[in-house]
Amino acid sequence: MEYNFTDVEKRWQQYWKDHHIYHVDEIENRPKFYVLDMFPYPSGAGLHVGHPLGYIASDIYARYKRQKGFNVLHPMGYDAFGLPAEQYAIQTGQHPAITTKQNITRYREQLDKIGFSFDWDREFKTSDPDYYKWTQWVFIQLFNHYYCTKCQKAKPIAELQQHLATQGTNELHAAQSKPLSFTADEWNAKTETEQQNILLNYRLAYLADSWVNWCPKLGTVLANDEVVNGVSERGGFPVERKLMKQWILRVSAYADRLLKGLETVEWSESIKEIQRNWIGRSEGAFIRFQIDDKPATLDVFTTRPDTIFGVSFMVMCPEHALIEQITTAEQKAEVDSYVFWARNRTETERQTEVKKVSGVFTGAYAINPFNGEKIPIWVAEYVLSGYGTGGIMAVPAHDSRDYAFAKHFNLPIREVIAGGDITKEAFETKEGTCINSDFINDLPVKEGAKKVIEKVISLGIGYGTVNYRLRDAIFSRQRYWGEPFPVYYKNGVPYVLPEEELPLLLPEVDKYLPTETGEPPLARAENWKTKEGYPLESSTMPGFAGSSGYYLRYMDPHNPNELVSKKKNEYWQNVDLYVGGAEHATGHLIYSRFWNKFLFDINIVCKDEPYKKLINQGMIQGRTNFVYRIINTNRFVSFGLKDDYEVTPIRVDVNIVHNDILDIEAFKHWRPEFLDADFILEDGKYVCGWEVEKMSKSKYNVQNPDDLIERYGADTLRMYEMFLGPVELSKPWDTNGIEGVFRFIKKFWRLYHDKENNFAVCDDEPTAEEYRILHKTIKKIEEDNERFSFNTAVSAFMISVNELTDLKCNKRKILEPMSILISAYAPHLAEELWHLLGNTDSVVTADFPAFVADYLVETSTKYPVSFNGKTRLQRVFPADMSVKDIENEILKDSEVIKWLDGKSPRKIIIVPKKIINIVI
């Protein structure tokens, strides 16, 4: 009997649990380190081999850091609110809490089998009332704060009220939905309800009518990042635009800080770039255009104020409030029908027909403030309501979209930047010289823009500004399975509940569907109102509510009085290493940063950024196997011969295929229709084809970690997942290679055992060579761990085990440190060996072995000798030999003389301890 991983793994998992080995407390004099995995949504399908990839990497790092003397916080929990459990509840009538609980139990079992070092004492799920109490609490704080644009931080709404009561909107520096203007007297004269409505214009969590992504199939509104290519991210259902009253978070107020903060975090360049694009900062100007013959103005945002003399028409988005006011009687019918058509188009339609030009003339004109020219105002879909002001000044000569529009409707195109050929296409460069532009003629573009902005300011019709693409986040969902808003309505105006009344519990409902009148499911709950009888909000919060600040709660998970205590927050600070998928780049990772910055502003947390270092693990794709059935038969032809027949490829369960060879007997019993199938073989085997696809049940390519653990053990699975390649890289799962790692684990075990599998480690003094191997390994593992290069570390373990096996080394002074080194990777194996070595404590708490450089000092160096850069031979010289001496020696070498072939070297390059290159 060799290494019995089943017994060993079970035994130590129990031991770790019984002895609370992974429990962590704050320890004042010990440096902290916080390692966090993006917490999982517990889906019904359980874990497949792709999920633990990141968890294994972070677990290795957490264990390593602990052995290096850090107090490591490494928690786990569940993002438990969400659509799948609710969809399932709608179908079956079963409460989503029950499904969620079952799924979590399954997840936990699977996670436990892999041997993670999570501190489960800190576990929570977002659907626990003790947890969502704090999600609701943060919402109340957001509601009670506004963003001061002058001091660039959140401030209490009471201060804003004070300001309005004494100065009105004068000198007000607040992020707002729309600019308002009134005096203190006007404010004070307003009713309570009127004032509350106005305050919504400034609150960081506010209620507003806005054009939202409405998904009828899911019966809810979605945030921008939840809509992908015009369909819902979950389920892939169509999304429409709809004007609805919704809770919204004023994320846009933090756009600039979210952008700047990226410079302070250690994230991959690609993910920072995705966030930068999503935030989409652009510099330009707001300019107000007077409408001809009307007491109205049209505001535009432009990044190219330098092209103001090239404006030949204006465009408003179909949602623009001004349309009704300025459209002329003659144009009204046409405009109405266009606007109706455009507003009711789905996101998908819009996006697939981007190249199609459409629009309609309003009949109204604006006046160019710089030359008094009358310019026609159009309505067109290509101008978006959510960006800038919803209106643009069109400069067809220097913007390709305006150009296409002008060509289509035969509008004038006027060149104002020299250098292009506007008869062919728009000339969009930002380097160039202004022409046909009055007082900015001959100026470079940048100078021209500056001058125009100065003029705009002096005319009092605008200002230079920065605009962001980042939009406020819709925060309401018309669903059941989420956090209830701690909000009630009085006179139609929202108020938040007092903090003492939290948590506001999710009520029971008879059905998880909207009411007959189209209200969200919570409206079905009996008595869904406050003690005083005011109706409560019936929407719930979105999935990202609970995941935005969860990292904080792990610091102080059971605190009933605070989200996190000041003391514990100051100890744990923020996440040192965050591991998770790159798909959260524009969702969770933005919201979470926003949420944290707000909590920083109100002095709840001590760090401005939540996640210092981020690693995005790659996706593990499935490797699907195919068999080939000859058309109209039950005959299957092997991969290499299939081209001689007309065949249908059929996906086959990867679990009955080994190294692409089909287990024919298993195949016959896989499905009844294959029972009497026959086969055309090559070399007596049926060879399957393969393809890389997403891992999914329907493709029969799912590899379940439990099966692999049963066959090879958790340590093998852990090391194999790391061995596949760099953590960040996406790669197809291929079980074939796992045998190699399995052999390695057994070989490692055999170092400590004799042929009869008796533990046999001796106390002899190791040789210099054995010490060299050990310290080379210590150095390598330490370096690789530090740079998250776990694949190369596994390979380094294999090399040293091969070398120690060759030396038949079974010496304690080598093998004991080796067991510590490998414990982060193969904790069960390491713990067993550690105890066999006579230790009574856990290897988890052992110190990482100290590297001693002396053991690696070489007395001689083997030099590759190359001629014109091509390596020809090798020569050994003492390590301390001078360059001059080496040169003399090498030229006497008979082999070198042979390669010189009678010529004399032009130059000899000798890099000490590296290389000798002879140039002929």
* Site residues (CB under 7 A) for RNA, limited to 819-858: none
- Examine residue 269 and tell whether it contacts RNA (CB under 7 A): yes
Neighbours of 864 (CB within 10 A): 13
Residue with Cβ nearer RNA (449 or 575): 449
Which region among 39-47, 454-462, 570-578, 581-589 touches RNA (by CB under 7 A)?
A: 581-589
**Residue 432 to residue 446: CA distance in whole angstroms:** 9
Contacts of 491 (CB under 8 A, 6+ apart): 193
Q: Which of 586, 624, 785, 842 binds RNA (CB under 7 A)?
A: 586
Which region among 8-16, 210-218, 737-745, 836-844 touches RNA (by CB under 7 A)?
A: 737-745
- Examine residue 914 and tell whether it contacts RNA (CB under 7 A): yes
- Examine residue 431 and tell whether it contacts RNA (CB under 7 A): no
Q: Which of 116, 723, 771, 855 binds RNA (CB under 7 A)?
A: 723
- Examine residue 711 and tell whether it contacts RNA (CB under 7 A): yes
- Examine residue 689 and tell whether it contacts RNA (CB under 7 A): no
- 642-681: which residues touch RNA (CB under 7 A)? 658-659, 663
Neighbours of 516 (CB within 10 A): 7
Residue with Cβ nearer RNA (126 or 791): 791
- Examine residue 304 and tell whether it contacts RNA (CB under 7 A): yes
Q: What is the DSSP string of 258-293?
A: HHHHGGGSB--HHHHHHHHHHH-EEEEEEEEEEETT
**Residue 74 to residue 88: CA distance in whole angstroms:** 32
Q: Which of 277, 371, 465, 767 binds RNA (CB under 7 A)?
A: 277
Q: Which of 344, 429, 696, 802 binds RNA (CB under 7 A)?
A: 802
**Residue 889 to residue 337: CA distance in whole angstroms:** 93
- Examine residue 585 and tell whether it contacts RNA (CB under 7 A): yes
Dihedral class, residue 171 (left if φ above 0, else alpha if ψ from -120 to 50, else beta):
left
Q: Which of 740, 878, 883, 889 binds RNA (CB under 7 A)?
A: 740
CB 391 to RNA: min, Å: 7
Cis omega before residue 535 (within 30°)? no
**Residue 164 to residue 758: CA distance in whole angstroms:** 83
Dihedral class, residue 570 (left if φ above 0, else alpha if ψ from -120 to 50, else beta):
alpha
CA angle 300, 301, 304 (to 5 degrees): 115
Q: Which of 242, 746, 812, 835 binds RNA (CB under 7 A)?
A: 746
- Examine residue 868 and tell whether it contacts RNA (CB under 7 A): yes
Q: Which of 14, 429, 871, 882 binds RNA (CB under 7 A)?
A: 871
Q: Which of 186, 192, 353, 678 binds RNA (CB under 7 A)?
A: 353
Residue with Cβ nearer RNA (108 or 350): 350
- Examine residue 582 and tell whether it contacts RNA (CB under 7 A): yes
- Examine residue 739 and tell whether it contacts RNA (CB under 7 A): yes
Q: Cα 776 to chain center, whole Å?
A: 36
- 464-503: which residues touch RNA (CB under 7 A)? 467, 469
- 209-228: which residues touch RNA (CB under 7 A)? 228
Q: What is the DSSP string of 524-552?
A: GSTT-B-TT-PBBP--B--HHHHHSSHHH
**Residue 892 to residue 592: CA distance in whole angstroms:** 69
Q: Which of 27, 737, 764, 878 binds RNA (CB under 7 A)?
A: 737
Structure tokens at 571: 């100890």
Q: Which of 175, 383, 473, 826 binds RNA (CB under 7 A)?
A: 383
Count CA within 13 A, CB hemisphere, residue 816: 18
Alpha-carbon separation of residue 29 from 70, 602, 851 (angstroms): 10, 28, 24
- Examine residue 776 and tell whether it contacts RNA (CB under 7 A): no
- Examine residue 166 and tell whether it contacts RNA (CB under 7 A): no
Alpha-carbon separation of residue 515 from 22, 97, 712 (angstroms): 47, 21, 52
CB 351 to RNA: min, Å: 6
Which region among 196-204, 408-416, 583-591, 632-640 touches RNA (by CB under 7 A)?
A: 583-591
- Examine residue 875 and tell whether it contacts RNA (CB under 7 A): no
What is the x/- site pattern for RNA, positions 46-75, by CB under 7 A?
------------------------------
CB 363 to RNA: min, Å: 21
- 880-909: which residues touch RNA (CB under 7 A)? 907, 909
Query: What number of residues does the chain have?
Result: 920
Burial 168-202 (b: 16+ CB within 10 A, else e): bbeebebbbbeeeeeeeeebeeeeeeebbbbbbbb
CB 710 to RNA: min, Å: 11
- Examine residue 348 and tell whether it contacts RNA (CB under 7 A): no
Structure tokens at 323: 């349309």
Q: What is the DSSP string of 835-903?
A: HHTT--S-GGGSPPPPP-GGGG--SEEEEEEEETTEEEEEEEEETT--HHHHHHHHHH-HHHHHHHTTP
SS3 44: coil
Residue with Cβ nearer RNA (269 or 765): 269
- Examine residue 289 and tell whether it contacts RNA (CB under 7 A): no
